[in-house]
């Protein structure tokens, strides 16, 4: 209704009725331009057909906010204008087909982080532009005014800019439902280096034995949030290169059906952040990354994307050591779990059971007795127990785990003594895969809080999967269903 406010009441200007109110929230009412001489509706807007032709007026075309369409938007205005231009040109005898305007609403929501791209095909007439919401551009050039020619013009400031083209919307593959996730996703982070081939080789093996979708993701170093000094041409070059890299890596996944494979590129100066965001958006159950190429052969280097990912990734992280691509033919026969009695380590055991079934591998539950823990605590709190007590406690908890492992999985316990990260790293030379909880290291965890997983991935010589905290059945959707038939 149209209103006028008078003191603490509002008056409906149409019928003069007074309504008392504490607060008034008003929505602007659209008024058309009321161009005299042209037919218009009650609000002053001009009715046009799908070619922009003004209803009831000869040789008059209109496009944009002044027309009767309920959604006023620059992108839609440009699409209407394109249709009108074609109709005018065709009528004037130009060899063009006058196509009706088919509206696709493309919007960029500028958020605190990377912008969010939104697309909706209002006429359901563009199969190449399905609806979607994405952190990576759903069209290119990806500006806020998404007109066929206008977007390119605005991007480069001249006519030679690219015409607008849509990119497939990115399906969210593993939407959790009330019954739990039905499909799962493995995200493999790649760049153009050899370490990505290591990640691909490992991802290939995992995905081949699961029904998971595989997303090959490549982040390119561009910050969409910083508009000042933005360089669309440079961005496009980086995006093209990233797409090429990801596609090449995807083609290496020769054991996976094409319909399970997707390529995803994203602008982000931090590959770790990019992968974390993507994993969250896709409900990925695992991110696979290679080690830094500066690492020694068979080792993961500190400061790598994998290591950064360990700080807050929403799913399991698999870090694949340098050179794995050359040894990946070796079957996965022995899987180790770093076990320290913590809940996090128990989750790693649960995941390892699924993997052991999937690969028909033997499990090794590894406990490390750390003398430093023993002496350190002894110095602080008095020698309440001996080193033998500690050994006994570790062995007892290992035995308990072994006793709880289902009978179809063969498992042994291994007790080591020394610095846990070093010991586990050394032991990994005898393993084909290792799992660890993301944090915590048993009753005396203070010595190792936050340190073991980070250091472990530097010393480990086989792929290591770090399981997130607080997940009841980690990797179950990746391998649970398959495990029963392998
Ligand atoms: C704050 C804001 C943010 C927006 N952000 C976006 C966005 O991110 N993306 C997007 O796609 N759209 C956006 N829009 C919408 C977009 O600006 C409009 O949809 C678009 O400009 C419409 O284009 P138009 O040519 O139809 O009308 P306009 O751009 O309004 O142009 C109409 C022109 O006609 C002139 N005119 C009007 N009446 C007469 C007259 N009687 N005689 C002579 N001249 C006249 C006006 O002065 C004006 O120059 C935004 C709008 C606003 C207000």
From 45, 68, 74, 84, the mutation candidate for ligand 1 (largest count of ligand atoms within 8 A of CB) is 74
Q: Which of 197, 130, 214 is nearest to 170 (CA)?
A: 130
Q: Which CATH class is domain 33-101?
A: alpha beta
What is the predicted pLDDT for the residue at 379?
Answer: 42
- Report pTM: 0.59
pLDDT at res. 232: 82
For the chain, give every residue range classified as CATH 3.40.50.620: 185-326, 330-483
Residue ranges, CATH 3.50.50.60, the chain: 33-101
First to last CA, the chain: 67
Decide: 409 and 363 in contact? Cβ < 8 Å. Answer: yes
CB 64 less than 6 A from any atom of ligand 1: yes
Neighbours of 47 (CB within 10 A): 17
For residue 72 and ligand 1, the question of a CB distance below 6 A is answered with yes
17 lines ligand 1 (CB under 6 A): no
CATH no. of 185-326: 3.40.50.620
Domain 330-483 listed as CATH 3.40.50.620: yes
Q: Is 11 in the pocket of ligand 1 (CB under 6 A)?
A: no
CA of 65 from ligand 1 middle (Å) equals 6
Supply the DSSP string of 1-70, one letter for each residue. Answer: --EEEETTEEEETTT--EEE-S-----PPP-----TTS---TTSPBPB-TT-BBTTSTT-B--STTBS-S
Task: Kindly state the DSSP code that residue 301 receives in the 8-state scheme.
Answer: P
Protein residue closest via CA to atom 17 of ligand 1:
74
Whether residue 75 has its Cβ less than 6 Å from ligand 1: yes
In sequence order, what are the residues at sequence separation of 6 or more whose Cβ sits closer than 8 angstroms to the Cβ of residue 87?
A: 51, 52, 53, 61, 98
pLDDT digit string (tens) for the chain, length 486 residues: 666 666 677 777 778 788 887 777 778 888 999 999 999 999 999 999 999 999 999 999 999 999 999 999 999 999 999 999 999 999 999 999 999 999 999 998 887 666 788 999 998 887 778 788 876 678 877 778 888 888 878 877 666 667 888 876 654 444 444 444 445 889 999 988 888 999 999 999 988 888 888 999 999 988 876 666 678 888 889 999 999 999 999 999 988 888 889 898 888 888 888 888 888 777 788 999 888 645 454 555 545 666 666 666 778 888 888 889 887 678 899 999 999 887 778 888 988 998 999 899 999 999 998 876 554 444 444 456 677 888 888 899 999 999 999 999 999 999 999 988 889 989 999 999 999 887 643 322 212 234 566 677 777 889 988 887 766 666 777 776 443 322
Which single residue is written with the structure tokens 């059945």? 473
The answer to whether 61 and 88 have CB atoms below 8 angstroms apart is: yes
Q: Is 120 in the pocket of ligand 1 (CB under 6 A)?
A: no
**The pLDDT of residue 442:** 30
Which burial class, exposed, middle or buried, applies to 261 when counting CB atoms under 10 A from its CB (0-12, 13-18, 19+)? Answer: middle
């Amino acid at each position: 209704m149209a209103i006028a406010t008078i003191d603490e009441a509002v008056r409906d200007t149409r019928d003069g009725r007074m309504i008392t109110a504490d607060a008034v929230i008003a929505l602007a009412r659209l008024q058309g331009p009321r161009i005299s001489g042209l037919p218009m509706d009650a609000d002053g807007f001009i009715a046009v057909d799908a070619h922009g032709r003004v209803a009831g007026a000869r040789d008059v075309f209109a496009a944009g906010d002044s027309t009767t369409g309920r959604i006023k938007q620059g992108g839609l205005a440009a699409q209407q204008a394109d249709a009108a231009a074609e109709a005018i040109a065709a009528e004037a005898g130009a060899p063009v087909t006058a196509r009706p305007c088919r509206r696709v609403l493309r919007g960029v929501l500028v958020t605190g982080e990377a912008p969010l791209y939104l697309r909706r095909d209002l006429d359901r007439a563009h199969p190449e532009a399905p609806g979607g919401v994405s952190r990576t551009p759903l069209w290119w050039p990806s500006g806020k005014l998404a007109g066929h020619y206008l977007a390119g013009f605005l991007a480069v400031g001249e006519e030679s800019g690219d015409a607008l083209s849509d990119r497939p919307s990115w399906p969210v593959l593993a939407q959790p439902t009330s019954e739990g996730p039905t499909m799962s996703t493995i995200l493999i982070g790649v760049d153009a280096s050899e370490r990505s081939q290591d990640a691909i080789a490992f991802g290939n093996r995992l995905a081949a034995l699961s029904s998971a979708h595989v997303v090959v993701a490549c982040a390119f170093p561009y910050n969409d949030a910083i508009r000042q000094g933005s360089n669309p041409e440079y961005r496009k070059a980086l995006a093209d290169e990233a797409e090429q890299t990801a596609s090449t890596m995807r083609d290496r996944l020769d054991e996976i059906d094409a319909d399970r494979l997707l390529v995803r590129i994203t602008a982000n100066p931090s590959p770790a952040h990019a992968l974390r965001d993507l994993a969250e958006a896709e409900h990925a159950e695992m991110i696979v990354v290679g080690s830094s190429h500066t690492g020694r052969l068979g080792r993961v280097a500190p400061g790598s994307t994998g290591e950064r990912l360990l700080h807050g990734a929403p799913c399991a992280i698999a870090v694949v050591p340098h050179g794995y691509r050359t040894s990946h033919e070796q079957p996965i026969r022995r899987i180790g779990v770093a076990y320290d009695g913590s809940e996090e380590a128990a989750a790693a055991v649960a995941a390892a059971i699924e993997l052991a079934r999937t690969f028909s591998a033997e499990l090794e539950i590894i406990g490390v007795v750390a003398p430093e823990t023993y002496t350190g605590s002894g110095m602080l709190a008095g020698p309440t127990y001996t080193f033998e007590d500690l050994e006994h406690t570790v062995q007892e908890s290992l035995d308990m785990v072994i006793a709880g492992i289902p009978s179809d999985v063969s498992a042994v316990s291994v007790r080591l003594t020394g610095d846990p990260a070093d010991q586990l790293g050394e032991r990994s030379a005898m393993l084909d895969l290792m799992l660890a909880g993301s944090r915590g290291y048993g009753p005396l965890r203070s010595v190792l809080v936050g340190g073991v997983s980070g250091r472990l991935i530097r010393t480990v010589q086989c792929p290591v999967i770090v399981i997130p905290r607080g997940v009841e059945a980690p990797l179950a959707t990746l391998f649970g269903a398959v495990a029963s038939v392998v």
